[in-house]
């Protein structure tokens, strides 16, 4: 079970006074205090965990955000920023004594700057909304999480989100070139701008992926790319997940970087086919979808090259899209794979870990062994090109103990990812979900360095506390935390 910081009773006792103060800063309907209305914010995409926030605040200007943060700091109140609440790692999970800072009203596209091939947008604009706004100019925003219809660019920045096209075009961190943030002191600062590689420390690099712990993003400048003139997708069936994994490694080894390269195992393929009827073959153990984009001659050449590699890796079926409708249909099942799996199991737990590509086959085999140990099934859907796994562990929350078993299984999968040279997360962030696994990957010095950075922005530990870091480590304790002979210092201190 995930533990969160104990609510501060002194803060809770002042709730009425805090509401009144916040109403002065954000008038009208900007402060939500009623229990029924607060329910809308009680969880994010990690739906197994729920917590009503003390209050929700919905500012609509940067000045209001700054004033709210200044007030919170002066009054020792915790803050959880929130975009669309689709985080799968519990990053936007509220705190009982905290305010939920909803950024949903920041949904303006401020500028489309064609000469500089970028757009300046507010953080509540959806990921897909950016591409839709510039489609007429033949441009798009490349990172495309499957949740792109709902998730916000502010949430994408905080989680360093990825998607199918990130293999070729990079993650959020490679496509966001500037942000405006408000610090806990209420200071409004700009990092980066309309050009790459500004002077000074790479604070933009630190901010992207910081999970709402360093500041509140109030404006984002994103890079826009030209829509490739041609894109074709290949749908390739394999007799084993291993052969599909080996084919992925061979494509990359041949110097081909597809626009996207995704694997679904048998269970995920069957679920997706039953849901969207994309024409997926049901007699294969793994389905690989490869997209190749560029000018038409180049794409035709690459399609032939990938077909050849697939044949060398025991492919049993291979279809190349011949029209845009067909290409989209090939992707429809993959894009809808999560909800499709939701139709075949009362609950599922979506994991996110990354491994070196050449270990894909081995990791999938060991995961199959773990299915026996835990008595739970796994549907695998993943960004194979960049080794980013999304095992979906099927369970039934109504059966006593099954959620715990699913979580233990998930933790073992992530430990396996680290063991084979990978990392705990690919794109969903650490949040509360993987917080306690951080020591699997980072040693005490690593974590202290990360916390030192956090303290430089937020020495009071008020911005999104209880997330990412495995234990309470106040800034004042930094450098004094030594574990000797396996004995934890200050064992009487509460850690979460
Ligand atoms: C069905 C489904 C499919 C998904 N597919 C993908 C995928 O393919 N790839 C992928 O990467 N993710 C995916 N996700 C996860 C999720 O959509 C992303 O993590 C997304 O970036 C979260 O955006 P959000 O607006 O919902 O943020 P929220 O969930 O509201 O918040 C996420 C984090 O960002 C912080 N935050 C939000 N806004 C701000 C702000 N303005 N300033 C500072 N911090 C902020 C929050 O505190 C929290 O820590 C998926 C989720 C679902 C439900």
Which residue bears the tokens 């950016």?
Answer: 130
Q: What is the pLDDT of residue 472?
A: 53
Torsion 444-445-446-448 (CA) sign:
positive
User: Cβ atoms within 10 A of the Cβ of 309, count?
Assistant: 20
CA distance 392 to 1: 19
**3-state SS record for 10-77:** HHHHCHHHHHHHHHHHCCCCCEECCHHHHHHHCCCCCCCCCCCCCEEECCCCHHHHHHHHHHHHHCCC
Residues 6+ apart with CB under 8 A from 343: 271, 274, 275
Q: What is the pLDDT of residue 481?
A: 44
CA distance 325 to 329: 6
Nearest to 207 by CA among 271, 156, 251, 158: 158
Q: Six-digit token pair at 112?
A: 């489309």
Q: What is the pLDDT of residue 198?
A: 76
DSSP 400: T
Q: Six-digit token pair at 226?
A: 């030209």
Q: Find the 120 Cα to ligand 1 centroid distance in Å.
A: 19
Q: What is the pLDDT of residue 1?
A: 67
Closest approach atom of ligand 1 to CA 82: 30
SS3 content of the chain, % helix, strand, coil (to 5): 40, 20, 40
Q: Find the 191 Cα to ligand 1 centroid distance in Å.
A: 21
- Residues having CB closer than 6 A to ligand 1 are 44-45, 80-88, 91-92, 103, 123, 145-147, 151-152, 154-156, 158-159, 161-163, 211-212, 216-217, 338, 427-428, 464
Q: Which pLDDT tens digits describe the chain residue by residue (496 residues)?
A: 677 888 999 999 999 999 999 999 999 999 999 999 999 999 999 998 999 999 999 999 999 999 999 999 999 999 999 999 999 999 999 999 999 999 999 999 999 999 999 999 999 999 999 999 999 999 999 999 989 999 999 999 999 999 989 999 999 999 999 999 999 999 999 999 998 777 788 899 999 999 999 999 999 999 999 999 999 999 999 999 889 989 999 999 999 999 999 999 999 999 999 999 999 999 999 999 999 999 999 999 999 999 999 999 999 999 999 999 999 999 999 988 988 999 999 999 999 999 998 888 889 889 999 999 999 999 999 899 889 999 999 999 999 999 999 999 999 999 999 999 999 999 999 999 999 999 999 999 999 999 999 999 999 999 999 999 986 544 544 444 444 444 544 454 444 4
Please tell me the number of Cα atoms within 13 Å of 43 on its side-chain side.
9
- Answer yes or no: are the C-beta atoms of 394 and 342 closer than 8 Å: no
Tens of pLDDT, residue by residue over 188-237, are 999 999 987 777 888 999 999 999 999 999 999 999 999 999 999 999 99
Q: Find the 240 Cα to ligand 1 centroid distance in Å.
A: 33
CA distance 71 to 17: 12
CA distance 435 to 93: 13
- Residue 470 has phi, psi (to 5 degrees) of -70, -20
Q: Six-digit token pair at 165?
A: 């096209």
Residue nearest atom 8 in ligand 1 by C-alpha distance: 145
**388 membership: H or E segment, kind and range:** strand 388-395
Q: What is the pLDDT of residue 437?
A: 94
Residue nearest atom 35 in ligand 1 by C-alpha distance: 212
What torsion, rounded to 10 degrees, do the Cα atoms 278, 282, 286, 288 define?
A: -30
The alpha carbon of 196 is separated from its chain's Cα centroid by a whole number of angstroms, namely 24
Residues 6+ apart with CB under 8 A from 368: 378
Closest approach atom of ligand 1 to CA 88: 15
Q: Find the 92 Cα to ligand 1 centroid distance in Å.
A: 8
* Ordered DSSP codes for 102-165: E-TT---EEEEETTTTEEEE-TTSBHHHHHHHHGGGTEE-----TTTTT-BHHHHHHHT---TT
Q: Six-digit token pair at 56?
A: 């929700």
Q: Find the 42 Cα to ligand 1 centroid distance in Å.
A: 15
Tens of pLDDT, residue by residue over 339-370, are 899 999 999 999 999 999 888 888 988 999 99
Q: What is the pLDDT of residue 496?
A: 40
CA distance 194 to 119: 9
Q: What is the pLDDT of residue 3?
A: 79
Q: What is the pLDDT of residue 115?
A: 96
Residue nearest atom 6 in ligand 1 by C-alpha distance: 145
Q: For a pocket test of ligand 1, which of 85, 130, 159, 379 has the largest count of ligand atoms closer than 8 A to its C-beta? A: 159
Angle, vertex CA 44, rays to CA 39 and CA 46, nearest 5: 125
User: Which CA distances in Å does 489 have to 337, 339, 395, 485, 492?
Assistant: 46, 45, 38, 11, 9
Beta bridge partners of 379: 392
Residue nearest atom 34 in ligand 1 by C-alpha distance: 155
Q: Which domains does the chain have, with CATH numbers?
A: 9-102 (3.30.43.10), 109-226 (3.30.465.10), 230-338 (3.30.70.3450), 344-419 (3.30.70.2740), 440-496 (no CATH)
Residue nearest atom 13 in ligand 1 by C-alpha distance: 145
Q: Find the 484 Cα to ligand 1 centroid distance in Å.
A: 38
Q: For a pocket test of ligand 1, which of 40, 78, 83, 142 has the largest count of ligand atoms closer than 8 A to its C-beta? A: 83
Beta bridge partners of 392: 350, 379
DSSP 474: -
Q: What is the pLDDT of residue 59?
A: 98
């Amino acid at each position: 079970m995930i533990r969160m910081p104990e609510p501060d009773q002194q803060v809770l006792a002042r709730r009425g006074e805090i509401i009144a103060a916040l109403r002065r800063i954000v008038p009208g309907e900007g402060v939500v205090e009623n229990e029924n209305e607060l329910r809308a914010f009680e969880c994010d995409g990690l739906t197994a965990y729920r917590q009503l926030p003390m209050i929700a605040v919905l500012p609509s200007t940067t000045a209001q955000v700054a004033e709210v943060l200044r007030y919170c700091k002066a009054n020792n109140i915790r803050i959880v920023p929130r975009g669309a609440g689709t985080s799968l790692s519990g990053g936007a999970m509220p705190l009982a004594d905290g305010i939920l800072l909803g950024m949903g009203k920041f949904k303006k596209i401020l500028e489309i700057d064609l000469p500089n091939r970028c757009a300046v947008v507010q953080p509540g604009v959806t990921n897909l909304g950016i591409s839709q706004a510039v489609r007429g100019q033949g441009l798009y925003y490349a990172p495309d999480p499957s949740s792109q219809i709902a998730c916000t660019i502010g949430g994408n920045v905080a989680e360093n989100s990825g998607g199918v096209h990130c293999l070729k075009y990079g993650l959020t961190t490679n496509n966001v070139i500037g942000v405006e943030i408000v610090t806990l002191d209420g200071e409004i600062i700009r990092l980066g701008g309309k050009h790459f590689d500004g002077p000074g420390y790479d604070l933009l690099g630190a901010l992207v992926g910081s999970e709402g712990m360093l500041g509140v993003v109030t404006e984002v400048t994103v890079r826009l790319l030209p829509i490739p003139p041609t894109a074709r997708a290949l749908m390739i069936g394999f007799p084993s997940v291993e052969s599909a994994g080996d084919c992925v490694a061979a494509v990359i080894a041949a110097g081909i970087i597809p626009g996207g390269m995704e694997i679904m195992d048998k269970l995920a393929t069957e679920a997706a086919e039953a849901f969207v009827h994309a024409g997926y073959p049901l007699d294969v153990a793994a389905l690989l979808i490869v997209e190749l984009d560029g000018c038409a001659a180049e794409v035709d050449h690459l399609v032939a090259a990938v077909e050849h590699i697939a044949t060398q890796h025991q492919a049993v079926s291979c279809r190349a899209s011949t029209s845009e409708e067909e290409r989209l249909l090939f992707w429809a099942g993959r894009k809808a794979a999560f909800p499709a799996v939701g139709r075949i199991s009362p609950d599922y737990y979506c994991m996110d870990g990354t491994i070196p590509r050449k270990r894909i086959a081995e990791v999938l085999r060991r995961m199959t062994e773990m299915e026996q140990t835990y008595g739970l099934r796994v549907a695998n859907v993943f960004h194979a090109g960049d080794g980013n796994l999304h095992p979906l562990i099927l369970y039934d929350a109504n059966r006593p103990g099954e959620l715990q078993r699913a979580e233990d299984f998930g933790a073992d999968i992530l430990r396996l990812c680290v063991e084979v040279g990978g990392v705990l997360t690919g794109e969903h962030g650490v949040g509360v979900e993987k917080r306690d696994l951080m020591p699997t990957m980072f040693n005490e010095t690593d974590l202290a360095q990360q916390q030192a950075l956090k303290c430089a922005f937020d020495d009071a530990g008020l911005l999104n506390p209880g997330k990412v870091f495995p234990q309470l480590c106040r800034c004042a304790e930094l450098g004094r935390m030594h574990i000797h002979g396996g004995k934890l210092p200050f064992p009487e201190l509460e850690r979460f």
